[in-house]
């Protein structure tokens, strides 16, 4: 009952940071399973369906832009990880976390740098987190047209920064991030 945990959206300027937790069974059929960053959107979607169908348990949880602005991205990410692990049913007996840090948990946890490339359960969590966040960005694109969220997924690309300057900050933008803070200081709000 080992859960893999990973996040998506840590460096984005807008939206939630998403953490996912996955407990894989002893045997599974996920032949292309790897770090989500090494997969195309189509491959991630296919693996998302396969992971959610085969996992013993899986969950995705968020920390909001307001929580990110209040806590900072590091602590908000750890909070999202705690929430994802708490939502697993059955609960895990251990957690493997991608990265350098582990959230405070009641179970043993180990941080593994590059874990999404070396541990199947973390790779599965990376896919669940990335697909969940990408879907949220598609929803934000529909809600706030003109920003290009469907394309850049909320990261600080030139197109996003130009849209931010032109259209202002949405309520979903992270106010503590420098490019957004500068736009808000000028009074430019969606």
Annotated binding-site residue? 35 = no
CA-based end-to-end distance of the chain: 45
For residue 130, count other CB atoms closer than 10 A to its CB. Answer: 26
The model's confidence at residue 157, banded by pLDDT at 50, 70 and 90, is very high
Question: By the 8 A CB rule, do 122 and 115 touch?
Answer: yes
The model's confidence at residue 189, banded by pLDDT at 50, 70 and 90, is confident
Q: In CATH, which of 2.40.30.110, 3.30.420.10, 3.30.428.10, 3.40.1410.10 is domain 2-188?
A: 3.30.420.10
- Separation CA 174–CA 159 (nearest Å): 17
Annotated binding-site residue? 7 = yes
Q: What are phi and psi of 95, to 5 degrees?
A: -130, 135
Annotated binding-site residue? 67 = no
Q: To 10 degrees, the CA torsion angle through 8, 151, 132, 169?
A: 70
The model's confidence at residue 186, banded by pLDDT at 50, 70 and 90, is confident
> pTM of the prediction?
0.96
Give per-residue pLDDT as tens, 20-79. 999 999 999 998 999 999 999 999 999 999 999 999 999 999 999 999 999 999 999 999
């Amino acid at each position: 009952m080992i859960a893999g945990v990973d996040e998506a959206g840590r460096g984005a300027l807008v939206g939630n940071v998403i953490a996912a937790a996955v407990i894989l069974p002893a045997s599974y059929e996920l032949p292309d399973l790897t770090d989500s960053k090494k997969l195309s959107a189509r491959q991630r979607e296919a693996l998302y369906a396969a992971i959610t169908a085969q996992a013993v348990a899986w969950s995705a949880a968020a920390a909001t832009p307001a929580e990110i602005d209040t806590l900072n991205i590091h602590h908000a990410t750890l909070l999202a990880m705690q929430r994802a692990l708490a939502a697993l049913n059955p609960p895990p007996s251990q957690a493997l976390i991608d990265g350098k840090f582990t959230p405070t948990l009641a179970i043993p946890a180990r941080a593994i740098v590059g874990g999404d490339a070396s541990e199947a359960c973390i790779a599965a969590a990376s896919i669940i987190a990335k697909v969940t966040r990408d879907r949220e960005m598609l929803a934000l694109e529909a809600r706030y047209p003109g920003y290009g969220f469907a394309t850049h997924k909320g990261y600080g690309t030139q197109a996003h920064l130009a849209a931010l300057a032109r259209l202002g900050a949405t309520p979903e933008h992270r106010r503590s991030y420098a490019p957004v803070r500068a736009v808000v200081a000028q009074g430019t709000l969606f």
